[in-house]
Chains A and B, each alone.
Chain A
Amino acid sequence: MVKKKIEDLLVTGNQRLNKDYFILTLRSGDPLPAIFPGQFAELRVNHAGDTFLRRPISFYDVGREHHEIRLLIREVGSGTRQLGMLGPGDTLNMIYPLGHPFTMVDGKEFLLAAGGVGIAPMLLLGKTLKQAGKRPVFLFGARSKEQMFDLTEFEELGEVYITTEDGSMGKKGMITDHPILETGNFDGCYSCGPEPMMKAIAKLATGKEIFCEVSLENMMACGIGACLCCAQPTVHGMKMACVDGPVFNTKELLW
């Protein structure tokens, strides 16, 4: 297992995507440890008043050559809002790499279905799949166009399908309404986002008898398996989202 580290990384960029989303670019002084898609980091939030715990954020992209990490973050409260105020020259303390990543399995074509900030782990996953000679197909959902952002990086990796609840971009409706789910010939699915969406994708995968992994967003405190707060009931008993997950095969979950 890769040794976890606590490190101050240099913020080299903060790209605002829309009102709620931003991408932090961080640089380490050392070569990065092995980081796999679906893994996450626990970020320390300074000066956010009375927030106390770190914020678990999954890896959006990793650039090994320049020791660079990118994190896609959505502002949901005072902690993430404070992270959104970081800029070039600031440092960000994080514990990483954490968690059990997505699994690479046999097959050619894979559906990567994500809603909201669940999109975050899908870039690194898509890149990893493509490097392994597989075909990632992205299906992303959002409330409206305002909640979406430039998806060029995903488009470079494979087809991208969009749904919005108000129809302002892509197909109107939920991810689970998109016809690609029926017409696509997938060998497996990966999903991250709201639980009803992941459950629907899991059900679809079960029906088609294909591989399916989801990344859960259980509330976490420590991120390293000590506090036992992010419990997830599974067929193998109680598991911890931070060390046994956040990625689980849906066959393991009691859904």
Chain B
Amino acid sequence: MVDLQVNLGTLSLKNPVTTASGCFGYGSEYTDFMDISRLGAVFTKAVTRENREGNPSPRMTETPSGMLNSVGLQNKGVDYFINSIYPTLQQYNTVFIANVSGSTLDEYVEIAEKINALPGIPAIELNISCPNVKKGGMVFGTNRKSASEVIKAVRKVYRKILIVKLSPNVTSIPVFAKTAEDAGADAISLINTILAMSIDAEKRKPVLATVTGGLSGPAVKPVALRMVWEAYHSVKIPVIGMGGIRSVSDAIEFMLAGATAIQIGTANFVEPAVSINILEGIGKYLERHGFSSVRELIGNLEMPEGFERFRPKTF
């Protein structure tokens, strides 16, 4: 029996297979198709301070090997999360990690403080990378100073595992990975969606009501893989990798690039039970390659001879 357990700081996950925020609801949407308790963790849909209706429709369009969305953090607010959703999560034997988003630094802090008080939530994922809101989100995550400020402020009030979700819409992943680590993050997760757009040539109009949206799905995988690899070589804290994962091989590749755990996002929309297939496949891969622990995969990449000096620069 191979050892699948991984650690995000002091938080132990029974396996590295988790589901990405915004792509798995609060878990209950998937119970008809799989036993969600088998997952390493579930990252919840983003939680904001107040109820948000999200962006106008159309919010989604399919693109080559992927999709664009501009949902815009639709959720019923942190108090609803605490009173109505949190109690339902306790029945599952998996780790729930709340994805926290806001428009202002104070909003992030207030939500983090409230969720800190929930004994059943051992970690939050700080979403400073949503590309679909006018205020907050990516605005924080693409500026080094504001990213540092919001992470530090949340770190002061949040005593459990703090994961910071990074944006791919920056010129240097190492810079932002290091910024998160220095500001007190226990782990980083990446990538959020890539800012993108779609145009209807016949109508000569943008397809999405918000004009731009976030690209996800297999189309982003190679970009995400490179960024996870860069992040892994820039920080000492664990990296959670995501971006277009839909197969066992995809998941293994992210771990070899340096991910301690992986998140499955858009693929859940197409194959609701894909995460369980990937979990089972990882076990088989480890056996086939003679590994006794999944942790042996992390960053276990054989580089071309002489490549050492080409490591990504941290600064």
| A interface residues (Cβ-Cβ under 8 A, vs B) | 3-6, 44, 50-54, 95, 218-233, 237-238
**Given contacts A52-B62, A219-B60, A222-B269, A231 and B25 within 8 Å (CB-CB):** no
**Cross-interface CB contact of B66 among A6, A52, A227, cutoff 8 Å:** A52
Contact indicator A231/B54 (Cβ below 8 Å)? yes
Contacts of B71 in A (CB 8 A): 227-229, 231
| A-B residue pairs in contact (CB < 8 Å), sample of 15 | A5-B32, A5-B33, A52-B217, A52-B270, A54-B270, A219-B61, A222-B269, A224-B29, A224-B30, A226-B29, A227-B22, A227-B23, A228-B45, A231-B71, A233-B53
- Using an 8 Å CB-CB cutoff, how does the interface string of B267-293 with A read, 1 for contact, 0 for none? 011111100000000000000000000
Contact indicator A228/B57 (Cβ below 8 Å)? no
Contact indicator B60/A229 (Cβ below 8 Å)? yes
Contact indicator B269/A226 (Cβ below 8 Å)? yes
Contacts of A54 in B (CB 8 A): 269-270
Give 9 nearest A-B pairs by CB, closest first: A229-B60, A222-B269, A50-B64, A226-B25, A4-B32, A226-B29, A221-B269, A238-B53, A50-B65
Contacts of A52 in B (CB 8 A): 62-67, 217-218, 266, 270
Contact indicator B60/A226 (Cβ below 8 Å)? no
**Cross-interface CB contact of B60 among A50, A51, A227, A233, cutoff 8 Å:** A227
In whole angstroms, how far apart are the Cα atoms of A4 and B268 in the complex?
15
B74 close to A (CB within 8 Å)? yes
How many of B's residues come within 8 Å of A, CB to CB?
36
Contact indicator A51/B69 (Cβ below 8 Å)? no
Contact indicator A219/B58 (Cβ below 8 Å)? yes
B269 to chain A, nearest CB (A): 4
| B interface residues (Cβ-Cβ under 8 A, vs A) | 22-25, 29-30, 32-33, 45, 53-67, 69, 71, 74, 217-218, 266, 268-273
Q: By DSSP majority rule, is chain A's interface helix, strand, loop, or mixed?
A: loop
**Given contacts A53-B270, A95-B272, A221 and B32 within 8 Å (CB-CB):** no
**Given contacts A44-B270, A218-B57, A226-B23, A53 and B33 within 8 Å (CB-CB):** no
Contacts of A226 in B (CB 8 A): 23-25, 29-30, 268-269
Contacts of B60 in A (CB 8 A): 219-221, 227, 229-230
In whole angstroms, how far apart are the Cα atoms of A109 and B218 in the complex?
49
In whole angstroms, how far apart are the Cα atoms of A229 and B72 in the complex?
10
Contacts of B45 in A (CB 8 A): 228
